[in-house]
Amino acid sequence: MTDTQHITVATAWLDGCSGCHMSFLDIDERLFTLAQKVDIIYSPLVDAKELPESVDVGILEGSVSSEEDLKKAQEFRRHCKFLISLGDCAVCGNIPGMRNLFPLDAVLHRAYHENVQKNPQIPNVGVPRLLPTVQPVHGVVEVDLFVQGCPPPADVIWHVLSELIQGRTPDPMTLTRFGK
């Protein structure tokens, strides 16, 4: 970690429900404090289209389910000095990972044929190809910190960020757990 007071943060959601990002926003008025210490330079919450060359902290929500997710996870690993898996989907696969019990074809068929009445077809244009198995983020790249929870409570996210701002490595294990 850098010991500067102003750190850059990038976030992304892979295969998840965006709930972890919502939980992040739930830190409420502490967002103002955070804004003085942190630059969010890439995120679904801001307008930037490109991940800058070097980022202090990368935060990934969601599991790695598609080629797009895989690319993004690898990109984050390359560009971020410190990478955080945020939430159960990123940490353990969680709900997206439940499709691993079935072959991918069966899952697609179920979703786009069996459960559709009008013009059933599996989408194949403009959507990323799904991987055969859903993986947690650490299944494809090295991860520096794991923050469990579905979603991790706002207080935990605040704790993690404020520790990082102060140049310490946070230990969220005492504050959160799988499924919290």
The binding site for another protein (CB under 8 A) comprises 70, 74, 77-78, 85, 88, 91-95, 97-98, 100-102, 104-105, 108, 122-124, 127, 129-133, 135-136, 138-143, 146, 148, 150, 172-174, 177-180
For the CB of residue 152, give the shortest distance to another protein in the complex, in Å.
Answer: 11
CB of 55 closer than 8 Å to CB of 48: no
Q: Which is nearer to another protein, 34 or 70 (CB)?
A: 70
The C-alpha atoms of residue 80 and residue 164 are separated, in whole angstroms, by 14
Q: Which is nearer to another protein, 6 or 71 (CB)?
A: 71
The C-alpha atoms of residue 49 and residue 99 are separated, in whole angstroms, by 30
Q: Which is nearer to another protein, 118 or 125 (CB)?
A: 125
